[in-house]
Amino acid sequence: MKEYTTSFLADDFVFLEGPRWHDGRLWLSDMFGATVYAVSPDGAKEAVVELPNRPSGLNFMPDGSLVIVSMADRKLMRWHGGELTEYADLSANLAYDINDSVCASNGDIYVGTFGYDVFAHEDPKPATLTLVKADGTVKTVAEDIHFPNGVVITPDGKTLIIAETFVNKVTAFDRAEDGTLSNRRVFADLGDYTPDGICLDQEGAVWVSAFEQGEFIRVHDGGEISAKIDTGGRRAVACNLGGDDGKTLFCLIYDGDLDDIPKGARNAKIETARVDVAGAGSP
């Protein structure tokens, strides 16, 4: 197994999610800092837009606009031309916080939901995956997803892969032209690893952020782990591939006590590793 090490890029965030490489910068959500940032390769930060209800998944649309998951009010918000507007309201469809997401090349957005009140420490229960189409259609496309988290779509648009955090596996679906999903199957049984954010590389492997174990692992269809990054006991939250050649793995790390997150303690940071296989552009 190949092991990589990371280098510091930026810090002074509360809790980071949703990394996306776009137009030469890393875009990401500071969920409990209520801000979407764009970070340059040299670590320079720009606060792009504030969302009071916790931003998460980011989706760059075919028209160049940015659609942002607003977790607590269960809405998708559109940022374009310096203006923030409502893109879709999922609150009538989903009773609990929404989370990560992915956008297909045709503008289909898939959004996961917690499925229960995580912050009140309710017992976990299965959730759903929601499809929001460009024409405004909203429908459930998968059920019984156990804490849906990071999600990617293959370059041909025919496969969707999603992390199910609390059952320790990554799941794949066939994706039809109309956005519906079928043929559910296990992409990788991860044993004790708890998958959070994920990203796809050009060999079809998935980099998985193993939150509880503090590792980023490269996993192949079938479950083989071919590479890893050990964060040294810190939390591995999310990751994405980018940079000029697509071979920089941006690692979002939380280095602190989880109870300090709602208090606004700024313990989150970005580190990078140079890897051998470039990203496939998703998420």
Which pLDDT belongs to residue 28? Answer: 98
State how far the Cα of 246 lies from the Cα of 104, in Å rounded to an integer: 19
Which pLDDT belongs to residue 121? Answer: 76
Please give the sequence-ordered ranges of beta strands (E in DSSP) within 90-168, or none if there are none. 98-103, 109-113, 127-132, 138-145, 148-153, 159-164
Answer for the pair 93, 71: CB distance below 8 angstroms, yes or no. no
pLDDT (tens digit, 9 = 90+) per residue, 171-225?
999 999 999 999 999 999 999 999 999 999 999 999 999 999 999 999 999 999 9
| Helices and strands (DSSP H and E) totals, the chain | 0, 25
Which pLDDT belongs to residue 122? Answer: 77
| Lowest mean pLDDT segment, chosen from 123-127, 160-164, 226-230, 272-276 | 123-127
| For residues 59-82, average pLDDT | 97
pLDDT (tens digit, 9 = 90+) per residue, 39-70?
999 999 999 999 999 999 999 999 999 999 99
Tokens of 102: 């992915």
Q: Assess whether pLDDT exceeds 80 at residue 137.
A: yes
Peptide bond into 283 cis (omega under 30): yes
Q: Assess whether pLDDT exceeds 80 at residue 119.
A: no
